[in-house]
Amino acid sequence: MKIVLEVTFRMGGVSYRGHRWEENALVFEFERLGDAFIQVLSTRKVEIEVREKPEKVLIELRTKEGGKVLEATERDGVYVAMEP
């Protein structure tokens, strides 16, 4: 089964690092670790193959200040999220 994630970040410089399962949640890992970033909306699209549909899809964003966890919602077969 293909999972498509589209996540919009509030600043550039975000790198996709992979994904993992935490129980029934699929967690996509991103990071933004530099010092200066362009203040512009940046959308990243990731497609992966999984064996089963996750109960929820989470986005983990690691930054120098710590991190954030966002939950994606499904729209027409695509999981979407936006950094607050």
Digitized pLDDT (tens) for each residue of the chain, 84 residues in all: 999 999 999 988 899 999 999 999 999 999 998 776 678 899 999 999 999 999 999 999 999 889 999 999 999 999 999 999
Give the start-to-end residue ranges of the domains of the chain.
2-82
Is the full-model pTM beyond 0.75? Answer: yes
Q: Which residue has the tokens 């193959």?
A: 49
In this predicted structure, what is the pLDDT of residue 37? Answer: 67
In this predicted structure, what is the pLDDT of residue 39? Answer: 81
8 token code pair: 């919009």
Q: Which residues touch 76 (CB under 8 Å, ≥6 apart)?
A: none
In this predicted structure, what is the pLDDT of residue 40? Answer: 85
Q: Are 32 and 14 in contact (CB under 8 A)?
A: yes
In this predicted structure, what is the pLDDT of residue 11? Answer: 87
